[in-house]
Amino acid sequence: MAGPAAPAAQGGQRHLGGAEFDPTAGGAGTLPIAWARHWVEAPDAPQLFDPASGWMRRGELDAVSRTVAGRLAGSGLEAGDRVLLSARASSALVVAHVACLRLGLVVVPTNTAYRADEIAHVVHDARPRAAIVDDEDRAGWVRDAAGDVHVLGPGVEVPDAATPRLDLAPPEAPALIGYTSGTTGRPKGAVLTHGNLLASAEALRLAWRWTSADRLVLALPLFHMHGLGVGLHGTLHCGASVVLVERFSPEAVLDAVEVHRATLFFGVPTMYHRLVDHPRVRELRRLRLCVSGSAPLPADLHERFGRATGQRVLERYGMTETAMLVSNPVEGERRPGTVGWPLPGVSLRLADAPPEIQVRGPNVFSGYWQRPAANAEAFTDDGWFRTGDLGALDDEGYLRIEGRAKELIISGGYNVYPREVEDALRAHPGIDDVAVTGEDDPEWGEKVVAYVVGPEAPDLATLRAFVAERLAGFKHPRAVHVVAELPRNALGKVQKHRLAGGTVLAEG
């Protein structure tokens, strides 16, 4: 149980406990050491379910990851070498990931949807010595980008070799290079240490009351912080168990919850949107906790899901560079449209003009892979990480994400936050989805432009009249484009730099 609130970094800001927070998790220092404690204490406890291979117990994960670590070492890999991992969620992928961390290798999780050029960018930038992939095209793209990369399958099917001493990496050693989602340009590699990852997992253990009795249904990919750094790392750190769902569908999630008597589900808003309309959605009442992240959960979806299931979805906020930062409380009000209070160990403040969210803590990375110029811009002179997100605190200290600082629109000298305009437009019954951007304009400097999805999307005049009671005039859209869909990355974030075209309803 978390202790009393920690001192606030900014006046009025509340925290999710933190008095007893120890980022080293009682001296473990790294995730593999923390995981090993559970493997030794209860080797027969179930740990990981893969529909293709069944249950794997804690002791099995320990033993098989040792074997795979020996194979990797026998292939010439040494602590500090980078290994690209890009494969569907499976027990084999989990074992390979665990083995890499135990050997001191640096994992480079890579989106399975990436094409040749995107794979080449990661390979050229991270310079991995090995790649673990489950697709022949991706294997070929890796080889094309760097012929000396040792390409393996998730099972690491190479001859067994003697297993060296494992779990020796110190907390300050790099554990993972997570490439940013690329919503505004070419991804950069955020270097997270073993200590960073452990601190985040320990904060979530405390804040979410996560115990070994919990069982998570995990339908998220294991190349992203949400699925890997939260779902998998958190499960292993707490000694809990996880049921992998390779490809999300409402039926697959609902079946997994029922058959395996799960207590937790982590998802993105798109998943909740599909679940809420399913005739079996009431079955999710049995869960202890539903968590949403990676993109904003619309307030109306939050309310609909609550009415259908009795679950108040817990929204949280994190980044590739920081793992998890902020969360709504498990015990207390979970406010729709907000991401809650800072997690144990995290300090948060809002800058002035614009109100950028800045953070520091043991979970926050120290810089991007070989990007000195980007690192100089990423941190303030006094050491706070600039998230690039804009935020606001309500009267109870709950944080609301207003959008990206680089997406801030300055129209006629006034600041316009796209998230606020998007929320207002999304309330229109003819709009299924919307993204708002700024475009250069000779009169206004920038004009507010809306890209809307919907078979009965209204014209510009109708939309401006609709938002008139909700938004000041300078925030009203001055152009509307109807598009078939919004470009999104694998976790559902809109890639606004790719917005273009569509039917122009009107401009003004």
Show the 3-state SS of 207-234.
HCCCCCCCEEEECCCCCCHHHHHHHHHH
Predicted local distance difference test score (pLDDT) of residue 359: 98
pTM of the model: 0.84
CA distance linking residue 72 with residue 50, whole number of Å: 23
Is 50 exceeded by the pLDDT of residue 79? yes
CA distance linking residue 48 with residue 90, whole number of Å: 9
Count CB atoms within 10 A of the CB of residue 487.
16
Domain range for 450: 408-507
Helix segments in 310-417, DSSP class H: 372-378
Residues 6+ apart with CB under 8 A from 265: 216, 217, 253, 257, 284, 287, 289, 290, 291
Quick check: is 334 in a domain? no
**For residues 306-322, average pLDDT:** 96
Is 50 exceeded by the pLDDT of residue 72? yes
CA distance linking residue 403 with residue 416, whole number of Å: 10
Give the residue among 169, 506, 160, 200 at the shortest CA–CA distance from 345.
200
Percent of the chain whose predicted confidence (pLDDT) is above 90: 74
CA count, 13 A, side-chain hemisphere, 105: 32
Task: Provide the 3-class DSSP secondary structure of residue 359.
Answer: strand
**For residues 485-499, average pLDDT:** 82
Is 90 exceeded by the pLDDT of residue 42? yes
Quick check: is 213 in a domain? no
CB 17 within 8 A of CB 63: no
Show the 3-state SS of 50-91.
ECCCEEEEHHHHHHHHHHHHHHHHHCCCCCCCEEEEECCCCH
CA distance linking residue 308 with residue 305, whole number of Å: 5
Quick check: is 417 in a domain? yes
Quick check: is 48 in a domain? no
Quick check: is 131 in a domain? no
Is 70 exceeded by the pLDDT of residue 41? yes
Predicted local distance difference test score (pLDDT) of residue 411: 84
Residue 340 DSSP one-character state:
B
Number of domains in the chain: 1
Task: Provide the 3-class DSSP secondary structure of residue 453.
Answer: strand
**For residues 26-43, average pLDDT:** 96
Supply the mean pLDDT for the chain: 91
Is 80 exceeded by the pLDDT of residue 54? yes
CA distance linking residue 388 with residue 50, whole number of Å: 37
CA distance linking residue 159 with residue 298, whole number of Å: 50
Predicted local distance difference test score (pLDDT) of residue 456: 81
Predicted local distance difference test score (pLDDT) of residue 501: 58
In tens, the pLDDT along 222-232 reads 998 999 999 99
Is 60 exceeded by the pLDDT of residue 1? no
**For residues 239-267, average pLDDT:** 97
Predicted local distance difference test score (pLDDT) of residue 425: 93
Is 80 exceeded by the pLDDT of residue 185? no
**For residues 279-286, average pLDDT:** 97
CATH of the domain at 435: 3.30.300.30
CB 326 within 8 A of CB 10: no
pLDDT category, 67, cuts 50, 70, 90?
very high
Predicted local distance difference test score (pLDDT) of residue 187: 81
Percent of the chain whose predicted confidence (pLDDT) is above 70: 93
Preceding omega of 250 cis (within 30 degrees of 0)? no
Predicted local distance difference test score (pLDDT) of residue 491: 67
Quick check: is 362 in a domain? no
Cα–Cα distance list, 211 to 134, 207, 259, 263, 271 (Å): 32, 11, 20, 11, 25
In tens, the pLDDT along 85-126 reads 999 999 999 999 999 999 999 999 998 888 888 899 999 999
Phi-psi region of 12 (alpha: psi -120 to 50; beta: other; left: phi over 0): left
Lowest-pLDDT range of 34-43, 121-130, 177-186, 347-356: 177-186
pLDDT category, 493, cuts 50, 70, 90?
confident
Is 50 exceeded by the pLDDT of residue 439? yes
Is 70 exceeded by the pLDDT of residue 155? yes
Quick check: is 500 in a domain? yes
CA distance linking residue 489 with residue 320, whole number of Å: 14
Show the 3-state SS of 85-140.
EECCCCHHHHHHHHHHHHHCCEEEECCCCCCHHHHHHHHHHHCCCEEEECCHHHHH
Is 70 exceeded by the pLDDT of residue 30? yes
pLDDT category, 313, cuts 50, 70, 90?
very high
Phi-psi region of 201 (alpha: psi -120 to 50; beta: other; left: phi over 0): alpha
Q: How far apart are the first and last CA of the chain?
A: 56
Quick check: is 325 in a domain? no
Phi-psi region of 454 (alpha: psi -120 to 50; beta: other; left: phi over 0): left
Lowest-pLDDT range of 133-142, 215-224, 278-287, 463-472: 463-472
Cα–Cα distance list, 20 to 2, 24, 214 (Å): 7, 12, 22
Predicted local distance difference test score (pLDDT) of residue 502: 53
CA distance linking residue 497 with residue 52, whole number of Å: 39
Predicted local distance difference test score (pLDDT) of residue 183: 46
pLDDT category, 12, cuts 50, 70, 90?
low
Predicted local distance difference test score (pLDDT) of residue 408: 79
